[in-house]
Structure 1
């Protein structure tokens, strides 16, 4: 048990170092040597756990974004599941869109995101789907979410929130309050409510 906790702490220190490097120079310009130096470990120590920088960055994205998704979910305070789920999703999308790691990747290394949008699901998406499916099933149980295929519903919701998380900046207009990020967050709330309501 202590060994597992120690390994997680070691992993976190490496991922913290990777985050600092990526925020400073982007993924392509970050090297294993940079990460090892910043984490205070040898390069061989990193090679035993991660074969390359992209693998470390993949683990970093999973850690950062699943923590963000978990933190965005409101506690079970007795309100219907759908209400809490929609509230958490809108807050989570806003936080994700503003996350420094995402902003840096979009600015400098956007191709890093393409496989997760076009080809396959990543670990972060699998974690999001587990959270969404559990919430959808809870919403079925309390009657606040439309009964249907829970896995498909969770995946459909993820498709919607991914587009709002990644593409809203391409649709906003600074001079028009009706096309502001806040206005699109309100539109996302409306879309999710209509999608999930019985």
Structure 2
């Protein structure tokens, strides 16, 4: 089934830092390549300048120091990921499509070259990032998920729960699985808890009817 004509996800995700202008993409692409090659801690503005074939002053003027570049890169790639949600969802939105979506987002986040480098070689930086930036980012990701969750609950395809609480729950699950790879197959790990929790009550098998089928 095709997605609704007006899926309630804004092109610019509400509450997130603004999407950097496209003119900065060459600089941020160079930053991303340097982070993936050297690591965030060992990358300098000079490295980014050499990657682009420009001088350091140009890099500073356009995207600032390394910390500012990291924030711009995180903002850009988060916008891209969250804005792509409509094209990734199987409609109508139900428990299995939620499992599939979260698994896809977790895999793509873990496969991002910078995240993969940090998970492999700079886990101490992830700790400081979690403490300082993840709570705010999770709130903003929750804001992006609430319209999808509300839509699915309203059409009866997900269990009736508070949309904001459910969206935050799903975002926190995804965040934890990005940072710590689950045992076994990702979809199976998610489905074990999410399918029963998200399935509307009237679709759950009744214990009495199950006993009758087994006789």
* TM-score bin, normalised by smaller chain: 0.7 to 0.9
Task: Classify 1:69/1:149 alpha carbon distance in 2 versus 1 (closer, same or farther; 3 Å).
Answer: same
Task: Classify 1:41/1:33 alpha carbon distance in 2 versus 1 (closer, same or farther; 3 Å).
Answer: same
Q: Does 1:45 align with 2:41?
A: no
Q: Which has the larger radius of gyration?
A: 2
Residues 164, 188 of structure 1: 8 Å contact kept: no
The residue aligned with 2:169 is: 156
Find the aligned partners of 1:116 and 1:26 in 2 and give their Cα distance.
Answer: 14
How many residues matched? 181
1:101 Cα deviation (Å)? 1.9
Using structure 2 for the length normalisation, give the TM-score. 0.70
Q: 2:116 aligns with which of 103, 108, 127?
A: 103
- Unaligned runs of 5+ residues in structure 2 are 1-19, 201-215
1:72-111 alignment, distance < 5 Å: 74=87, 78-111=91-124
Structure 1 ranges of 4+ moved more than 6 A: none
1:90-169 alignment, distance < 5 Å: 90-121=103-134, 124-168=137-181
Residues 81, 138 of structure 1: 8 Å contact kept: no
Q: Does 1:192 align with 2:191?
A: no
Find the aligned partners of 1:151 and 1:11 in 2 and give their Cα distance.
Answer: 33
Name the SS for the 1:144 alignment partner. Answer: coil
The residue aligned with 1:3 is: none
More contact order relative to length (CA 8 Å, sep ≥ 6): 2
Task: Classify 1:185/1:75 alpha carbon distance in 2 versus 1 (closer, same or farther; 3 Å).
Answer: closer
Residues 95, 194 of structure 2: 8 Å contact kept: no
Using structure 1 for the length normalisation, give the TM-score. 0.75
Find the aligned partners of 2:48 and 2:69 in 1 and give their Cα distance.
Answer: 9
Q: Flag the structure with higher helix content.
A: 1
User: What is the aligned-residue RMSD (CA, Å)?
Assistant: 2.7
